[in-house]
Amino acid sequence: MGRYIRIYRELLRLNLSALLAYRSNFVNSVVASIAWGVFSLISIILLTYRTQSVFGWTREEILLLTGAYSVLIGIFHTLFSRNFERFSRLVLYGQLDAVLVKPVDTQFLVSFWLVNYAGLFRVIVGAAFIIYLLHALTITIPVSVGAVFLLFLIAGVLLLYSVWFLAATLTIWFPRLTNIVDVMYTVSGISRLPREMYQQLSWYIFLFLLPLTFIVITPVRALIGNVTPTDSIGLVSFAFILFFLSRKFWQFALRFYTSASS
């Protein structure tokens, strides 16, 4: 474990050097990240300004959901998104060979190689919005509740990562599936709306989407004090089960890697 922490520290340092080398690209990314975060918040504020509640969620709770989504997706973009974008290229051009021969866990290397520091600005936008909203609603959050919120947020990131990794692993069989990441961006967006909304879908589509509905809803419900055991157990169980499955699926998929373009 200590070895992996040291490797990751080194990766953080290397990514920081790359950032300093390509400063204009970083500034572009920061501006895009902040603008997209602010834009998502403004559009949901405008959309709900004449609506008091939807499916038992008050307007303020939906805004909180959007703020928490912004924090979670910001963390996810910082740590993982760029790596998934690189993932399909690694497979398509046979560059995965260079990863496989290293004496480090391959899932770790393909998942953590790149760090997108600009994503942190999305986290800041989301966190600032949550703090503002809680202040406006005069809600005080005890430290214990804040800690539970953060733990659930981490579980949410793990769950989202596992879903993305399961999908990205398919590129081992279908190397030309380079836009699977674009689809996953849309899939992630499902988690920012109330679960009840999707219950109108046929049950098999709802079951398919069910894990995603725990990702942001559970931390937000913990924050506003109405989290149910189903929410908590659902989030943690899905996070660990899907993470376990993603590892097994990856190990299974590697048997079929042909290194075609190398």
Residues making contact with another protein (CB under 8 A) = 24-25, 28-29, 31-32, 35-36, 39, 43, 46-47, 49-51, 53-55, 174, 176-180, 182-183, 186-187, 189-190, 193-194, 196-198, 200-201
Instruction: Please give the DSSP secondary-structure letter assigned to residue 103.
Output: S
- 55 SS3 class: coil
Least distance from another protein to the Cβ atom of residue 115, Å:
18
Q: Identity (one letter) of the amino acid at 148?
A: V
Q: Which is nearer to another protein, 16 or 47 (CB)?
A: 47
Q: Which is nearer to another protein, 117 or 240 (CB)?
A: 117
Q: Which is nearer to another protein, 24 or 138 (CB)?
A: 24
Q: Which is nearer to another protein, 95 or 178 (CB)?
A: 178
Least distance from another protein to the Cβ atom of residue 22, Å:
9
Residue with tokens 């300093």: 20
Least distance from another protein to the Cβ atom of residue 50, Å:
7
Least distance from another protein to the Cβ atom of residue 232, Å:
25
Q: Residue 46: exposed, middle, or buried by beta-carbon count in 10 A (0-12, 13-18, 19+)?
A: exposed
- Residue count of the chain, please give it: 262
Q: Which is nearer to another protein, 145 or 190 (CB)?
A: 190
Give the span between the Cα atoms of 62 and 70, in whole angstroms.
12
Least distance from another protein to the Cβ atom of residue 25, Å:
5
Among candidates 120, 116, 122, which has minimal Cα distance to 34? 122
Tokens, residue 29:
């990314």
Find all residues with CB under 8 Å of 28, minimum gap 6, and list them: none
Do the Cβ atoms of 67 and 133 come closer than 8 Å? yes
